[in-house]
Amino acid sequence: MVAIVSAGISRFGKRSESIFDIAAESSLPVLRKHRNDVDFVIVSNAYSGEFNGISGLNSLLTSYLSLDKIPSLKVDNTSSSGGTSALVAKSLLESGMADSVLVCGVEKMTEKPTREVAGIIASLLPERERSAGPSLPSLAGLLAKLYMKRYSPKREAIAEVSVKNRANGALNPISHIQKVLTLEQVMESKVIVDPLRLYEFCPVSDGSASILLVRDEDAASYGTKPIYIRGAAIASDTSHITDREDLLRINSVARSGREAMKQAAIDRPDFAELHDMASILEIVQAELLGFFHEGEGWKAMESGRTEIGGDLPINTSGGLMARGHPIGASGIAQIYETYLQLRNEAGNRQVRNAETGLTLGMAGFGNSATSFVLGVSP
Amino acid sequence: MVAIVSAGISRFGKRSESIFDIAAESSLPVLRKHRNDVDFVIVSNAYSGEFNGISGLNSLLTSYLSLDKIPSLKVDNTSSSGGTSALVAKSLLESGMADSVLVCGVEKMTEKPTREVAGIIASLLPERERSAGPSLPSLAGLLAKLYMKRYSPKREAIAEVSVKNRANGALNPISHIQKVLTLEQVMESKVIVDPLRLYEFCPVSDGSASILLVRDEDAASYGTKPIYIRGAAIASDTSHITDREDLLRINSVARSGREAMKQAAIDRPDFAELHDMASILEIVQAELLGFFHEGEGWKAMESGRTEIGGDLPINTSGGLMARGHPIGASGIAQIYETYLQLRNEAGNRQVRNAETGLTLGMAGFGNSATSFVLGVSP
């Protein structure tokens, strides 16, 4: 078992700084206290080659951070890189191969125009599906259509995800998007992929988040209030969306999430950070994780149960939708928010009396997913 | 402790097949016997985005191999990706997070012209050094100059590395380059970076290699003659070559190699696969690993001690120089050759009575290095 003993995050958004400066912004607060403890660095990043023309990012970053002698590697699992990196960190610690692992998730996406970014990200789809036209946003649109057909939700309830996450994001000083939105604004924004609209998708962002992980038994010596990883799991499903029996049944999400909760011995967490790349995904994921009955997640959204004051707050950080989604950083940013909440340091978006929080990262359209349950006790 | 229970390799060279077909060529022989055992897949690859326009390679590959439900991730540490992946596999096994890990190293480089490939690989150098002009081959040239100035070796002894490795490669059916070379041919080939000549550099290649790793105690149930990983280490040094006190002193190589030998409780291995990206590197690395005294590696080369029949054979496979250097594949290909030798399956390039073999992979110009000691017993 492992624990998080320090964490940092950068401002998310369109940044003019280099990818190294952005990564340093979240890592230096950790290194300021623990520079001499770190004995391994994992960089979570998916596209530094394509977006920034940089390879070997892990070695360049450790040199940039004056950690030249510290071994490092880069983990890539596209949008689930952050969670996957934390999982590798956990195994390095539990196997005794390292005693203290800094995981830095970072991506700088805004160097390229949005259309080009979307094309690069679509390179994670199988060629036969890519050439047939689908992109990740269009799959989200298809998912929304299917959900609406099967369960007849109020259309507005889906859009409420964006309203809620934008409201939460406005309370988070590092969020990419700081503006709140009304339901009307969401419903009147441009249709991107029918039925989903512009404000129902996450933006293209730059940003980084860092965490320092150690073994449970070493955590006390690192200072106040470690946060424990009580469950951690990764699961996969076919990359060929057309091979899936049911598009709504994203197996990797259900399996990784349920496994992490099983390890943590909980039925549901007190709050969660989900992978709201599009509004509909938050609802579908919450159902797959067993937070709500199938086809009823939209009701929980409508009735405010997932707001900060609700009985199962989701994406208090603002989620991918408002905080932003720098691909390699998102998974670590979710863990950062959970760490903050469990330490009672989330300021005016603080969840009350929370003892466990869940994070879910999804690669591609569920090719892979990683889930963590964090807790105030082991 | 972990062991290798199955392995495969593709033909190296300029391949017309897709990166998936190349990866399958080394993975399917392993899966044919052990498909139902594999519970984690690590893909070692550095440049699928830049070279092949593909991201999320790990998920696409598991789907291609009909391993849809098997979790996977991609490890990147440029030229040391293979060794780094094997290290992550070891930690997944030792921490109990997985019971049987397939590591597939693959790179398809020849889709792009050689000049473009060199430019992409140079993106692992720090910007200030990149803009000043150095590339990896020019650093190798500088290393050769320094070595010659300091130790006054016979120039021909350095070129002998190429002659030897080409001769070994001609005995290896999967080698990219199958032609032997005379010393005269090497010494008369075009100067690439003074004093090094064309035939003293590895070619640009496509290829893949795969290994299946399990915990020691499970190895017996997988079949005949497992090969044990007795030592495994990673070490780093600054990416800023100009910050190094002594270019000849590649600290990451010395530290990772000596640590792996210490873990294995040996002073030197019976044979080794080194990172002969350029002829001079094999000599310098052999000295850094303590195989020969400083400044005397060239004598061992000249006297034939590192040939297959010598007392410390190096690069029996043909090395990067002849087998080829598909970046993400090389480290696993080194382990593959060592596995083959230790199982007495290396045919007409078989080393006699070997009980231990060492592999060394180097990222960048020693930003990072990984070393393994494999043995016939734990």
Q: What are B309-347's pLDDT values in tens digits?
A: 999 999 999 999 999 999 999 999 999 999 999 999 999
Rg (CA), chain B: 19
Residue B66's alpha-carbon distances to A50, A129, A236, B103, B167, in angstroms, are 28, 17, 12, 15, 38
- Would you say B71 and B92 are in contact if contact means Cβ atoms under 8 Å apart? no
Number of H helices and number of E strands within chain A? 15, 11
Residue A102 confidence class, pLDDT cut points 50, 70, 90: very high
Interface probe for A, chosen from B20, B76, B101, B372 (most Cβ of A below 10 Å), is: B76
The total of other beta-carbon atoms located within 10 Å of residue B152's CB is 10
Interface probe for B, chosen from A2, A68, A256 (most Cβ of B below 10 Å), is: A68
Q: If residue B218 lies in a helix (H) or strand (E), which one and from where to where?
A: helix B216-219
pLDDT tens figures, B194-209:
999 999 999 999 999 9
- From the list A160, A183, A164, the residue with the least C-alpha distance to A302 is A160
Closest-approach residue (CA) in chain B for A2: B95
pLDDT for A155 equals: 97
Residue B368 to residue A240, Cβ atoms within 8 A? no
Burial string for A289-303 (b: 16+ CB within 10 Å, else e) reads: bebbeeeebbbbbee
Task: State how far the Cα of A8 lies from the Cα of A338, in Å rounded to an integer.
Answer: 12
pLDDT for B132 equals: 67
Residue B55 to residue A96, Cβ atoms within 8 A? no
Q: Is the pLDDT score of A134 beyond 80?
A: no
Across B75-84, average pLDDT:
98
Residue B120 to residue A55, Cβ atoms within 8 A? yes
B91 contact residues in A (CB cutoff 8 A): 88, 91-92, 94-95, 97
Q: Which alpha helices (DSSP H) does chain A contain, by range?
A: 19-34, 48-52, 57-64, 81-94, 114-121, 127-131, 136-151, 155-169, 183-188, 216-219, 251-264, 279-288, 297-302, 319-322, 327-342
The total of other beta-carbon atoms located within 10 Å of residue B114's CB is 11
Residue A77 to residue B72, Cβ atoms within 8 A? yes
Residue B55 to residue A78, Cβ atoms within 8 A? yes
- Would you say B166 and B159 are in contact if contact means Cβ atoms under 8 Å apart? no
pLDDT for A215 equals: 98
pLDDT tens figures, A254-275:
999 999 999 999 999 999 999 9
What residues form DSSP beta bridges with A105?
A44, A209
Mean pLDDT of chain A: 96
Residue B46 to residue A55, Cβ atoms within 8 A? yes
pLDDT for A179 equals: 96
Predicted TM-score of the model (pTM): 0.98
Q: Is the pLDDT score of B224 beyond 90?
A: no
Cα angle A226-A229-A232, degrees, rounded to a multiple of 5: 165
Q: If residue B51 lies in a helix (H) or strand (E), which one and from where to where?
A: helix B48-52
Q: Measure CB to CB from residue B123 to each of A54, A71, A92 and give the nearest one.
A: A54
Closest-approach residue (CA) in chain A for B75: A75
A62 contact residues in B (CB cutoff 8 A): 236, 239
Report which of residues A261 and B224 the model is more confident about: A261
ipTM over 0.90: yes
The gap from C-alpha B223 to its chain's centroid, in whole angstroms, comes to: 26
Q: Which of A92-96, A351-355, B145-149, B220-224 has the lowest mean pLDDT?
A: B220-224
Cβ-Cβ contacts under 8 Å between A and B: the total is 187
Å between A293 CA and nearest CA of chain B: 25
A251 contact residues in B (CB cutoff 8 A): 69
Across A188-204, average pLDDT:
96
What residues form DSSP beta bridges with A359?
A273, A372
pLDDT for A242 equals: 83
Closest-approach residue (CA) in chain B for A97: B91
- Would you say A354 and A326 are in contact if contact means Cβ atoms under 8 Å apart? no
pLDDT for A128 equals: 80
The gap from C-alpha A60 to its chain's centroid, in whole angstroms, comes to: 24
Report which of residues A176 and B126 the model is more confident about: A176
Amino acid at A261: M
Q: Which residues contact A152 (CB under 8 A, 6 or more apart)?
A: none
Interface probe for B, chosen from A84, A91, A127, A251 (most Cβ of B below 10 Å), is: A91
Q: Is the pLDDT score of A45 beyond 80?
A: yes
B62 contact residues in A (CB cutoff 8 A): 236, 239
- Percent of chain A surpassing pLDDT 70: 99
- From the list B41, B30, B31, the residue with the least C-alpha distance to B7 is B30
Q: Measure CB to CB from residue B124 to each of A55, A121, A239 and give the nearest one.
A: A55
Residue A236 to residue B62, Cβ atoms within 8 A? yes
Residue A49 to residue B47, Cβ atoms within 8 A? yes
Residue A78 to residue B91, Cβ atoms within 8 A? no
Residue A88 to residue B74, Cβ atoms within 8 A? no
- Would you say A260 and A231 are in contact if contact means Cβ atoms under 8 Å apart? yes
pLDDT tens figures, A234-253:
999 998 888 898 999 999 99
Q: What is the DSSP letter of A187?
A: H
